[in-house]
Amino acid sequence: MAGIVHFSRYFLWMEQAEHEFLDSRGLGVMVEHNGNRYGLPRVSATCDYLAPARYRDILSIGVSVVEIGRSSIRYVFDFVVAGKTVARGAITVCFCAITPSGIASHPLPDWFREKLGNGA
């Protein structure tokens, strides 16, 4: 319409950036370890828009882990065009065990914390 990026695209880009971030560390939003299955459902997602990104802009996305709790991870995403931050988003996920009876919050295991590191 106005030649600017629709606000909803940032949420898709945050998810894609999170997947690439985890993949680069040998992790994922769904992982299996010692026969157990785990997932990272979102519990919060926000985005603040600081300036418009326009059609054909080249957008870079920086991912940082800013908080690691007992079972939660909070990421911040900086969207940059030509050296200028145009948006900043955040996602909080909860590490959960997936069993036949459902999903439930589970403490982040040491093996996951070690691979996660301290962010990008």
Q: Tell me the CATH number at 52.
A: 3.10.129.10
Total count of domains within the chain: 1
- Residue 1 located in a structural domain: no
* Domain of residue 63, residue span: 9-112
Question: Is 119 a domain residue?
Answer: no
Residue 2 belongs to some domain of the structure: no
- For residue 1, the model assigns a pLDDT of 57
Note the pLDDT tens digit of each residue in 80-109: 999 999 999 999 999 999 999 999 999 999
Residue among 50, 116, 46, 119 at smallest CA distance from 79 = 50
Q: Judge whether 38 lies within some domain.
A: yes
Q: What is the pLDDT of residues 8-23, one digit of tens each?
A: 999 999 999 999 999 9
Domain membership of residue 3 (yes or no) is no
pTM of the predicted structure, to 2 decimals: 0.91
**Buried/exposed code over 25-60 (b: 16+ C-beta within 10 A; e: otherwise):** eebeeebeeeeeebbbeeeeeebeeeeebeeeeebe
The answer to the question of residue 25 being in a domain is yes
In a domain, 101, yes or no: yes
Look at residue 120 and tell me if it is in a domain.
no
Q: 31-81, pLDDT tens digit by residue?
A: 999 999 999 999 999 999 999 999 999 999 999 999 999 999 999 999 999
pLDDT at 120: 44
